[in-house]
Amino acid sequence: MNRTLWMVVGVISILGGVFAFFNPLSASFAAEQLAGFVFLLVGILQFVALFRAHSTIGKVLAAIGGVLGILIGIELLQNPLQGILTLTMVIAILFMATGIVRAVVAFGLRKTVAFIPLLISGLISIALAIMIFTSYPQSATYIIGVLLAVELISNGISLIMYSRVQPPLIRNI
């Protein structure tokens, strides 16, 4: 891609992030519906893999993955509010688990420069999880949308910065 295209994609990403930030509930619903379609697609692709698997175990795993993907996808698409509640709880659990792991790993690196940044990162993840847990289910109305907004804005900024960097020498190949 050329620089202008990276810049345009970055600006669009930032604008999407700003819109998501100002309407996090709509962004949460959009993200939940997208997740539903992705699960449905992955489930269907698992069934395609079922017919290409050579071993019995591969076929069984593909069938189980296909059924689960399709069922989860249908459930998310049919009941978006429940899907948002579930995804919010999964996010909180993920934040808590990764935060604890980072903090434990940080203490294993006490005498290195990575200790403080890793510990802070872990504590932030734990704090975010606690914030989500303590305000659940109200947090479900905005947390996915806010996280999506932050990701889109961060992505947009990085793409704009990337568009301003001189491409590597490989471009002439």
Query: pLDDT tens across 70-104, in order?
Result: 999 999 999 999 999 999 999 999 999 999 999 99
pTM of the shown model: 0.73
Q: What local confidence, expressed as pLDDT, does residue 170 receive?
A: 52
Q: How far apart are CA 27 and CA 140, in angstroms?
A: 11
> Tens of pLDDT along 5-60?
889 999 999 999 999 999 999 999 999 999 999 999 999 999 888 888 888 888 88
Q: 155 pLDDT exceeds 80?
A: yes
Q: How far apart are CA 125 and CA 84, in angstroms?
A: 20
> Tens of pLDDT along 109-139?
998 998 999 999 999 999 999 999 999 999 8
State whether residue 114 is helix, strand or coil: coil
- Assign 171 a pLDDT band (cuts: 50, 70, 90): low
Angle at 24 between CA 19 and CA 162, to 5 degrees: 50
Six-digit token pair at 63? 């069938």
Kindly state the helix (H) or strand (E) to which residue 68 belongs, with its residue range.
helix 56-78
Sorted by sequence, the CB contacts under 8 Å of residue 172 that are 6+ apart come out as none
Angle at 10 between CA 6 and CA 162, to 5 degrees: 55
Q: How far apart are CA 40 and CA 111, in angstroms?
A: 47
Q: What local confidence, expressed as pLDDT, does residue 131 receive?
A: 92
Q: What local confidence, expressed as pLDDT, does residue 114 receive?
A: 87
